[in-house]
Amino acid sequence: MASNFKIFPFETSDSLHLKLDGDFDGNSAHELLNTLKKYGGGFYQIFIDTEDLKTIHPFGKKVLHKKLGALKKQFYDIIFVGRNFHEIAVD
């Protein structure tokens, strides 16, 4: 994990919000995936806020895209938001 990467989670009544901060690399992608597995069940929507990502490493993006494709089926709706959403969002 990038030494400065952090995930700040908070919940609303039916949504989980994950605010990402720092540099996003392969280990950061795994941390995000593990957080989704651990806390994402039971929420109608999951928002992943990319606003405070400093650097998005290509390998981190590749790991996320590869692993989240299968995992996405477990969740109703994952929405990427923030100024970097277009760089990291998974279709």
CA distance 69 to 10: 23
Supply 7's token pair.
């995930």
Give the pTM: 0.89
Strands 78-81 vs 45-56: parallel, antiparallel or unpaired: parallel
Q: What is the band of 31 on the pLDDT scale with cuts at 50, 70, 90?
A: very high
Mean pLDDT of 34-51: 89
**Better-predicted residue by pLDDT, 19 or 79:** 19
